Amino acid sequence: MMKQMISQVTTMEKKCKEGFEHFSDKYPVVTCALAFLGAPVLLVGALTLTTTAVMLPFSMIFGWM
């Protein structure tokens, strides 16, 4: 069971990697734009959501909201 799951994850990882390599070879400008513009926006968004999810209960408990 576990070997099958690991095999499926490995296969999916290889497919995703091949797909991304094909995309980056075909559209190098878009790949650079995603790397230098999309990644920081995604990072800041994830940080904002995580901070909100952690701090919102505390702010409600202490009456800050």
Pull the structure tokens for residue 58. 């505390």
What tens digit of pLDDT does each residue of 29-52 get? 999 988 899 999 999 999 999 999
Checking if the pLDDT of 55 tops 90, the result is: yes
Query: What is the C-alpha to C-alpha distance for residues 28 and 23, in angstroms, rounded to an integer?
Result: 8
| Residue whose entry in the numeric block shows the structure tokens 């800041």 | 44
Phi and psi at residue 51, to the nearest 5°: -65, -40
Q: What is the pLDDT of residue 64?
A: 87
Checking if the pLDDT of 12 tops 90, the result is: yes
